[in-house]
Amino acid sequence: MSAGHTAVTTPPAPEAVVEPVIRCETPQDECGVRDVLDRLGDKWSVYVVVELASGVLRFKELQRRIHGGISQRMLTLTVRRLERDGLVKRTVYPTIPPQVEYELTEMGHSLTHLVKALADWSIGHRPAIAAAREAYDEAAQE
């Protein structure tokens, strides 16, 4: 246990308790959370969805647009998984070498609204998150 985790915390006052928006009734009930994490829980899936939201892209174009430098192998695995889930459509043209294009399906486009909401939340809370991290780090050093 770290020094920052030795202090006793007090639970919130009963009037401060807020009803959850989502609730799992039993430990086996996943409330759809696992499905969300399975779709978007890796490092690259959200980037791929965001880049494909602007339209059809060839493999190399998609790879170049993803910030952080995704490898060819990882991009292949990511688009295959998104294709398997019905979020991405892959089209192969019979040329030499084969030309492959990727685009979001209708279901994939519907996901972009949720990704945008998460991005907006992140941007809106960025100062509060930074302040919380700073306070946490200062308390952990004491």
Domain boundaries defined on the chain: 31-141
For the stretch 78-132, pLDDT in tens is 999 999 999 999 999 999 988 999 999 999 999 999 899 988 999 999 999 999 9
d(CA 33, CA 81) in angstroms, rounded, equals: 18
More confidently predicted of 101 and 142: 101
For the segment 24-40, the average pLDDT, to the nearest whole number, is 72
The rounded distance, in Å, linking the Cα atoms of 24 and 118 is 21
Architecture of domain 31-141: Orthogonal Bundle (1.10)
